């Protein structure tokens, strides 16, 4: 796929070189410019960058060469090149959590991009929070990311299944409102003799594992009265990752393995989409990719039967200030902005800064981003107001009922009062590296949940001191939308 695209882009450049009339049509004219864009190994995200690159080449007479790396290699590849001042990349696509480390080496977004209707169309949490570091817009969101539930309506709405579930558990079968319900449903539908399991989550180290764990943890630790306290105490920067809320979340995460297909410990986020679309599981939670892939009859055995809902909430949330569990009359939903949406930025060492930002603006414009959103496997999920309000493109994939459920789950999560933001601070990769090591031990049964989290907390506190506690605290508070102390 990559070789084919590169050949196509090369042909576009050659066509410009030998046909005079084409040059006059270049707008803007980037004849002779070839951008190198970094992306994770496709199809997710890389395919969307490639598709936009082909259109951009036709429009500008430039070219885009997409170079792909496994997800776990992206951070060191980018940072090593940027620190060395190498012009290895003109465009990088990356996680917002890496911005604190990348910001000193990036070219700020041009002011002109922020003076358009396309700019105001971007959802506020992305535009004004996740695209900003130290008060400067450093990157452009190219994907909206938060976790939602996908479930099979053919199972959940089957009269026999509904009656059997209610008889066994004492309440109606529906999309889970709490994690207790999630595990009841997962248990009910785990039927190995039928080739059916209850759920699927990503468990593999390096397979975007910890974001799935964080979704569990948000429900038990993102206390409405203590904003920003999920990962660290926002007054002291002491790690909170081993408190009782986190322990309950890890115990839940480990329990999920019981209700997942064989070999689930090796599942990445891509694998859980395949499992759902292949009819192996009754539900999962994931970024919006599962819903679009599962709705596509060319990729799915369950198309036409795809329901969507917000991730479960909790009626008990750990209060780190009092050291006690607080109870709530109704489940508090704390949808987690896992990853926070892929972003694109331009390294300052690039010799093609103007062209690179022009390509990023083109890649993320309403038309191209909408097309990517409704393309299963692109890895692009809604992040613009127009993505949520323009129903027609979604009907090329979903039924109207499915499309409305999907968009409601995404938008209600994005606008939830107790939405949980992902961790962003310098040295993020170091913090998550130890996290993954210990999570993998706990999932394998080598250590208890408490032992794993105690080890993580100890190392997080050591890293915080190594990076400078005061600086880390200031960065953490800023990323969580809290004022300076």
Question: Would you list the domain boundaries of the chain?
Answer: 2-145+341-390, 147-336+408-485
What's the CATH fold of domain 2-145+341-390? Answer: D-Maltodextrin-Binding Protein; domain 2 (3.40.190)
**What sign does the dihedral 413-418-420-421 (CA atoms) show?**
positive
CA torsion 75→437→238→464, rounded to 10°?
Answer: -40
Mean pLDDT by 10 residues, the chain (485 residues): 34 37 74 97 94 97 97 94 97 95 96 95 93 94 96 98 98 98 98 98 92 97 96 98 98 98 95 96 96 94 97 98 97 94 97 98 97 92 95 95 96 95 92 96 97 98 98 94 90
Per DSSP, 333 falls in state P
- CB distance 416 to 462 below 8 Å: no
Q: Which residue, 358, 418, 419, 410, is CA-closest to 384?
A: 410
pLDDT digits (tens, 9 = 90+) for 332-362: 999 999 988 999 999 999 999 999 999 999 9
Q: Using alpha carbons only, how large is the chain's radius of gyration in Å?
A: 23
Which distant-in-sequence residues (6+ apart) come within 8 Å of 173 by Cβ? Answer: 156, 161, 162, 165, 166, 185, 188
Q: Scanning the structure block, which residue is given the tokens 């999309």?
A: 175
The token pair at 93 is 């696509």
Per CATH, the number for 147-336+408-485 is 3.40.190.10
Global pTM value: 0.89
Q: Scanning the structure block, which residue is given the tokens 């599981």?
A: 281
Please tell me the distance from the alpha carbon of residue 378 to that of residue 51, in angstroms, as a whole number. Answer: 10
| 2-145+341-390 matches 147-336+408-485 in fold | yes
Question: Strand 34-40 relative to strand 63-69: parallel, antiparallel, unpaired?
Answer: parallel
The pair phi, psi for residue 243, each rounded to 5°, is -80, 175
The helix or strand, by DSSP H or E, that contains position 37, with its residue range, turns out to be strand 34-40
Please tell me the distance from the alpha carbon of residue 405 to that of residue 304, in angstroms, as a whole number. Answer: 13
The token pair at 115 is 């003076």
Please tell me the distance from the alpha carbon of residue 404 to that of residue 401, in angstroms, as a whole number. Answer: 5
Share in percent of the chain as helix, strand, coil (round to 5)? 50, 15, 35
Please tell me the distance from the alpha carbon of residue 77 to that of residue 173, in angstroms, as a whole number. Answer: 47
pLDDT value of residue 17:
38
- CB distance 327 to 316 below 8 Å: yes
Distance of CA 186 to the CA centre of its chain: 23
């Amino acid at each position: 796929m990559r070789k084919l695209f590169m050949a196509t882009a090369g042909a576009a450049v050659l066509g410009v070189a030998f046909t005079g009339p084409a040059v006059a049509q270049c707008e803007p004219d980037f004849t002779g410019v070839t951008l190198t864009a970094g992306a994770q190994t496709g199809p997710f995200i890389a395919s969307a960058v490639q598709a936009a690159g082909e259109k951009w080449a036709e429009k500008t007479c430039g070219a885009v060469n997409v170079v792909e790396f496994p997800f776990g290699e992206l951070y060191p590849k980018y940072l090593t090149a940027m620190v060395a001042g190498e012009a290895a990349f003109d465009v990088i696509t990356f996680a917002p959590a890496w911005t604190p480390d990348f910001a000193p080496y990036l070219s700020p977004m041009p002011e002109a991009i922020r003076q358009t209707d396309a700019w105001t169309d971007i959802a506020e949490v992305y535009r004004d929070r996740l695209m900003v570091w130290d008060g400067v817009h450093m990157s452009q969101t190219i994907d909206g990311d938060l976790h939602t539930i996908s479930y099979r309506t053919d199972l959940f709405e089957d009269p026999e299944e509904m009656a059997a579930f209610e008889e066994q558990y004492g309440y109606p079968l529906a999309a889970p409102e709490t994690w207790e319900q999630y595990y009841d449903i997962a248990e009910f539908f785990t039927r190995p003799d039928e080739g059916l399991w209850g759920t699927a989550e990503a468990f593999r180290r390096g397979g975007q594992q910890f974001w799935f764990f964080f979704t569990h943890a948000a429900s038990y630790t993102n206390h409405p009265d203590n904003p920003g306290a999920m990962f660290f105490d926002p007054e002291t920067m002491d790690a909170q990752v081993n408190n009782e809320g986190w322990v309950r979340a890890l115990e839940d995460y480990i329990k999920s393995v019981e209700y997942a297909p064989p070999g689930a410990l090796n599942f990445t986020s891509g694998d859980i989409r395949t499992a759902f679309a292949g009819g192996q599981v009754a539900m999962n939670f994931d970024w919006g990719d599962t819903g679009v892939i599962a709705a596509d009859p060319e990729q799915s055995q369950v198309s036409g039967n795809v329901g969507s809902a917000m991730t479960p909430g909790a009626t008990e949330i750990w209060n780190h200030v009092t050291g006690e569990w607080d109870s709530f009359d109704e489940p508090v939903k704390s949808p987690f902005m896992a990853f926070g949406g892929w972003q694109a930025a331009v390294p300052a060492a690039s010799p093609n800064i103007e062209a690179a930002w022009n390509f990023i603006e083109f890649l993320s414009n309403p038309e191209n981003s909408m097309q990517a959103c409704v393309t299963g496997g692109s890895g692009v999920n809604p992040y613009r107001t127009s993505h949520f309000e323009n129903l027609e493109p979604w009907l090329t994939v979903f039924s109207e009922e499915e499309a409305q459920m999907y968009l409601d789950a995404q938008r209600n999560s994005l606008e939830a009062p107790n939405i949980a933001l992902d961790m962003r601070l310098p040295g993020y990769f170091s913090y998550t590296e130890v996290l993954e090591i210990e999570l993998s031990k706990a999932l394998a049964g080598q250590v208890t949940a408490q032992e794993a989290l105690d080890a993580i907390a100890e190392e997080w506190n050591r890293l915080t001191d190594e990076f400078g506690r005061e600086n880390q605290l200031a960065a953490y508070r800023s990323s969580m939308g809290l004022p300076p102390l």
